[in-house]
Structure 1
Amino acid sequence: MKHGISLVCGVACATLLLACAGDPPPETTTRDPTPAIRATIQSNTTQSPVPIPTATRHPIPIGTPTLDPPRPVQSGSVLTFTYTVQRGDTLIGIAYATGTTPEALQRLNGLRNPNALQVGQQLLIRRQIEGRAPSIKLIPDSELVNGPTAAAFDAATFIAQQGGYLSRYTEVVAGELLTGAQIVERVAEQFSVHPRILLAALEYVGGWVTQAQPSEDQLRYPLGYKRTNLEGLNVQLNWAALRLNEGYYGWRLNTRGYVRLDDGAYLAIGLGVNAGTAGLQNYLAAISTLSDWPTIAESDGERAFMRTYRRFFGNPWQYDFGPLIPADLRQPPLALPWRKGEMWYFTGGPHSAWGPGTPWGALDFTSANVAGCTELQDWVTAAADGIITRSARGEVVQSLDPSGDERIGWSVLYLHIGSRDRVPVGARVKVGDPIGHPSCEGGLAQAAHLHLARKYNGEWINAQGATPFNLEGWTAVEGPREYDGALVRGDRRREPCQCKRPDLNGIVR
């Protein structure tokens, strides 16, 4: 079968990808979120670096970076998961997704009836660790996150200069015809993953950046995720971005200290690595088997991923920005994002900011007038002063930084904003100015609502932690599961609910 240079893949295709990957789509308003798995371990020219448009940049170390202090790990070679059962789960499905057997799960958890799982039930899952990923830093954090260093990189120009298949490719995504460069840039923006790492992965596996005509297999699975009906650039890039974020934030937040290979084997993350390296190892593991992993994950060598990266961009450490998140980071004042005097309802506690693998950094709200997916008349309003940098497909992003670039400093994502009256790109807004109306636009949603999340230097910020989500004194508290938790102000507490109860989840601005 001969492939053309165009492909049609809409929302249904992307949704299928994520479902088959064991994850929900990037956005959902249901209270059955991502299964909560937390674990412990027991002619190509090099592009010259260009100035980064930011006030402070750390010295650039060239050479071999110093390893971080090793983290404590569980003795022995057993990986222990805590898995929270979600609606629709079966014991067979859980076993398949985690690389074990239904019988092993039944014995370990004392399950008398394997068909009687309850939503919210926690299961222990144990797997043998087959070894450890290399203890060497491959890339700085700033090369995985779509942050300040990405502001100096023009992906579209780079793609055009290489003149490969990607430069001529088009695909219909959710009814819109996009070029290959536009797809790369969109995935980089939405997931906040650096376009350089996406392009290096696309070349390493698929050869799309430089080759005029990749092989049939490379055309189908350009990022290496070989699953039936999950073909084409957009779906594959979405999957790769998910894996990169999953490893990055899992390491940053100390919730994931392992990688899973494509053949089902588990490895511990290398000692002393950084989050950027952990994210890259997580992606590379997903396209490797235990036998070929050592040559793919090393820092150099004929089959090493990093050889492709260096061929394109040179030494990754020349771009090192240093810590993306300052130790003393404080959130600027943020207002409740609706008009004064109105009561809105808190419908979703801390949950993934953009798809599984990202921190529980988002909160959901809706108004009293919600009725399914009908776009509401009520206004979402600006939580702070700033510049609108993106406004399309239900997504509105506001930069709070003087640069007006969402990759630098603080930015706020307002998701599910309907197209009617939506604020345009370039608008300078003040606190309380209209942003648009809640809807189901942008991702999957069962009812019109607002999904609100924060980034700093491109990194998604957890709702609870060193820099908690604070809206006019209402501070976010995580629950044991995504979408649970609370907002607390003094002795007042509001809990998320798919209901309209002023005393439970109602908040007046």
Structure 2
Amino acid sequence: MGARRSTPSSARERYYKRRVKRTGLLILVALLVAVVVCGALVYPVLAPDAGVDVSQFDTVTPKASLQVTQTAQPTPTETATPEPDITKTLAALPTQGQIVPPSEDSQILYYTIAGDSLDVVSLHFGVEMSEITSPDEIDHEGLLPPGQLLIIPNRLGETSSTSKLLPDSEVTFSPSTVDFDIQAFVDQAGGYLSTYTEYLASTGWTSGADIIGRVALEYSVNPRLLLAFLEYKSGWVYGTPQTEFDRVYPMGYVNSMKEDLYLQCAWFASTVMDGYYGWREGRTLVVDYLDGQVIRLAPQLNAGTVGLMHAFAKLYDFDEWVVRLYGEESFFTLFETMFDSPWIRAQEVEPLIPADTVQPEMILPFEIGRLWAFSGGPHAAWSAADVWAALDFAPASAESGCQESTAWVVASMPGLIVRSGNGVVVIDLDGDGYEQTGWTLLYLHIATKDRIEEGTWVETGDRIGHPSCEGGRATGTHVHMARRYNGEWVPADGPLPFTLNGWVARAANTAYEGWLIRDGEYIYANTAGTQETQITREE
């Protein structure tokens, strides 16, 4: 782990000193209000003059009615009284988080940021690609270089704040996490997480630090983000959960099917990734809040910011969402207290995917001359995270469902096997042993039998195992593939399309649908494995 400006205990002290200072100010305001109110009670505005005898005023005593109708009184029910949100009551919403009104300008001058492509920028601004111009030549298919000026017609109404909250590299499992020792950080913090264990079906009794590491690896999300949000919501990192709710739902998401640390962290990671890649792919253009309010996202935002905005909106209504993201004691105040400035770290590793990045040559994941089916077009790379980075292929079989297969899955590119287990095999192209750097290729549903061992170097076309249903939910034997670059999932359809033996993946409007296209020939995805899905690899 890199050098830190302070120990975890001093970090906690600095954070809570700020809270004490803030609370003291609020108490002072409350006392002033109390003085005014009490004064009004002692000296009412309509009180009689001091020289007037108050007994001169008639007092009317109502007479009881002779006919009294008795009604059943409801039995009092003890209910929890919610604590008032003092910040919302006494302070205006933070300026940075307020809704941005429409501009009267006819055009918007927009400078591109890392990850932008022309088609997605047009969706963010609600215009056609052909309406966007630039003093420089525009790449209509690939990634745009950061800082390129685009001139865009202004058709925006109200939008969210344009303030960027967190760089992309602090949200994804980026190269900035390579030297971050999760176990050492958790042990040094000394909170409930450091002694926590949970039984998981695939790994048995698993420590809190290992759960954070596993979710970070599986969902390709930054472990610092997981730790900061866990501390923010329930105090697990430096302290102890104060309520049963904080123990069962440490990330704050109430769902009886997602209790305890692993499933709560998986929910948070998945929800952040939904927003991150939904924005990156142009499928998410608004943020929906618990109170039903819907706001269009400002086009100037980066994917990391949208990921956090999306996750917080699942837990809070708009007003509280603004305070928790943009207020003086926001989530990011705690984040920087725990991990120093994320923007400084980002300067060393971003852009995560430079504009000149190209996919290395890859082949279809099966042996030459063998009949397979293109069973799944672009869809979620991992679990429920809505990242359309994966493709599925199934071997030809006379039987449907999860059947043992003798067909071989092969390496689509050369590299080092850096993970092999629980149905997963990962190839690291640059061979440095880190999934956070360079190109990596993930295979899911690889059977235990004959599966290649971790640490093996493979060349393109080498056998790595058999397709199966192992490692996750599956209705039939197949292999699932997804790419990452510098820890970021790469959408199967987009500026860097998934290309295998010249077949280029294209997405439809629905997950799992889509096509492979090569030289005008189309192969359609279908989970049923129909004739139009059949594909073979040639010499």
Aligning the two structures, in what range does the TM-score lie when normalised by the shorter sequence?
Answer: 0.7 to 0.9
CA 1:309–1:461: 2 relative to 1, 3 Å: same
Deviations 1:273-307 (A, max 9, x none): 21111111111222212332221011x523x1011
Which of 349, 374, 379 is the equivalent residue of 2:403? 374
Sequence identity percentage: 40
Q: 1:143 maps to what in 2? A: 170
Q: Which moved more, 1:478-487 or 1:356-365?
A: 356-365
CA 1:358–1:150: 2 relative to 1, 3 Å: farther
Report the secondary structure of 1:153's partner residue.
Answer: coil
Which of 412, 416, 427 is the equivalent residue of 1:398? 427
What is the RMSD of the two structures over their aligned residues, measured on CA atoms? 2.5
Q: 2:472 maps to what in 1? A: 443
Q: Distance in 1 between matches of 2:379 and 2:533?
A: 19
Query: Alpha-carbon deviation of 1:489?
Result: 1.9
Contact 1:345 1:365 in 2 (8 A): yes
Q: Distance in 1 between matches of 2:445 and 2:518?
A: 26
Q: Distance in 1 between matches of 2:111 and 2:382?
A: 28
Query: Where do residues 1-400 of structure 1 align in structure 2 (5 Å cutoff)?
Result: 43-44=8-9, 73=125, 132-175=159-202, 176-270=204-298, 272-298=300-326, 301-302=328-329, 304-320=330-346, 321-369=349-397, 371-400=400-429
CA 1:226–1:131: 2 relative to 1, 3 Å: farther
Q: Distance in 2 between matches of 1:138 and 1:68?
A: 18
Could you tell me which amino acid in structure 1 is paired with residue 379 of structure 2?
H
Contact 2:371 2:534 in 1 (8 A): no
Query: Alpha-carbon deviation of 1:356?
Result: 4.1
Gaps of at least 5 residues in structure 1 are 1-42, 48-63, 76-128
Greater relative contact order (CA < 8 Å, ≥ 6 in sequence): 1
Q: Distance in 2 between matches of 1:328 and 1:306?
A: 32
Query: Alpha-carbon deviation of 1:501?
Result: 4.8
Query: Alpha-carbon deviation of 1:206?
Result: 1.1
Q: 1:35 maps to what in 2? A: none
Q: Distance in 2 between matches of 1:278 and 1:314?
A: 21
Q: Distance in 1 between matches of 2:427 and 2:285?
A: 33
CA 1:192–1:388: 2 relative to 1, 3 Å: same
Q: Distance in 1 between matches of 2:521 and 2:125?
A: 39
Q: Distance in 2 between matches of 1:388 and 1:508?
A: 23
Q: Distance in 2 between matches of 1:366 and 1:163?
A: 47
Q: Distance in 2 between matches of 1:415 and 1:507?
A: 20
2:463 is equivalent to residue 498 of structure 1:
no
Report the secondary structure of 2:334's partner residue.
Answer: helix
Could you tell me which amino acid in structure 2 is paired with residue 387 of structure 1?
L
Deviations 1:298-357 (A, max 9, x none): 1x523x101110111011111112211111221101011112221211111111222444
- Larger Rg: 1 or 2? 2
Could you tell me which amino acid in structure 1 is paired with residue 523 of structure 2?
R
Report the secondary structure of 1:237's partner residue.
Answer: helix
Report the secondary structure of 2:318's partner residue.
Answer: coil
CA 1:69–1:326: 2 relative to 1, 3 Å: closer
2:487 is equivalent to residue 461 of structure 1:
no
Query: Alpha-carbon deviation of 1:135?
Result: 2.5
CA 1:349–1:213: 2 relative to 1, 3 Å: closer
Q: Distance in 2 between matches of 1:68 and 1:159?
A: 40
Q: Distance in 1 between matches of 2:445 and 2:360?
A: 23
Query: Alpha-carbon deviation of 1:480?
Result: 2.5
CA 1:464–1:270: 2 relative to 1, 3 Å: closer
Contact 2:375 2:533 in 1 (8 A): no
Query: Alpha-carbon deviation of 1:365?
Result: 0.6
Contact 1:165 1:214 in 2 (8 A): no
Report the secondary structure of 1:359's partner residue.
Answer: strand
Report the secondary structure of 2:319's partner residue.
Answer: coil
> Would you tell me which structure has more helix in proportion to its own residues?
2
Query: Alpha-carbon deviation of 1:130?
Result: 12
Report the secondary structure of 1:455's partner residue.
Answer: strand
Contact 1:249 1:357 in 2 (8 A): no
Q: Which moved more, 1:133-142 or 1:197-206?
A: 133-142
Q: Distance in 2 between matches of 1:445 and 1:425?
A: 24
Gaps of at least 5 residues in structure 2 are 1-7, 13-95, 97-109, 114-120, 128-155
Q: Distance in 2 between matches of 1:177 and 1:130?
A: 52
Query: Alpha-carbon deviation of 1:160?
Result: 1.2
Q: Distance in 2 between matches of 1:229 and 1:497?
A: 30
